[in-house]
Amino acid sequence: MTASSNKITVSIASDSKLVGGVCENILALAKKFSFDEDDIFGIHLALEEAAVNAVRHGNGGDNQKKVTIQYLVNESVIDVRIADEGRGFKPESVPDPRSPENIFKLGGRGLLLMKNYMDVVEYNDRGNEVHLVKYK
């Protein structure tokens, strides 16, 4: 773990079990800075979804690959970047899970949750890093 300019960077093996600890650290800071409980709930869902997607889809569950999580939490914002070592993807290619033809399909719900709970959800050009921001 490294910290620079108040940002903390953590690199974990691609193991879904390791995601929870990093999320707990971020959420503890959110509570410290008095973020609303409803916001903390949504942030938790979005962070876990993004990190687990990086492990499962981005790195294909290969625990030789890393997931890097960089975050900044202060009194006004939670700013998180989650990157994997995978090929990336095009978020716009993920079908909308609310469409009638996709209602019973499993894909896309996590992206929808992130968009609904976070103020900013953006991807790098390669599609292997997501940037999530929640303003107080």
Residue numbers of the domain that contains 129: 2-135
Do residues 69 and 129 make contact, with C-beta atoms less than 8 angstroms apart? no
Do residues 71 and 123 make contact, with C-beta atoms less than 8 angstroms apart? no
Cα torsion 12, 18, 21, 27: sign: positive
- The number of distinct structural domains making up the chain is 1
Do residues 96 and 108 make contact, with C-beta atoms less than 8 angstroms apart? yes
Element of type H or E holding 109: helix 109-117
Residue 86 belongs to domain with CATH number: 3.30.565.10
Element of type H or E holding 2: strand 2-4
**DSSP 8-state symbol, 44:** H
Per-residue pLDDT in tens (0 to 9) along the chain, 136 residues = 555 458 999 999 999 999 999 999 999 999 999 999 999 999 999 999 999 999 999 999 999 999 999 999 999 999 999 999 999 999 888 878 788 887 887 777 889 999 999 999 999 999 999 999 999 9
- pLDDT per residue over 81-102, tens digit each? 999 999 999 988 887 878 888 7
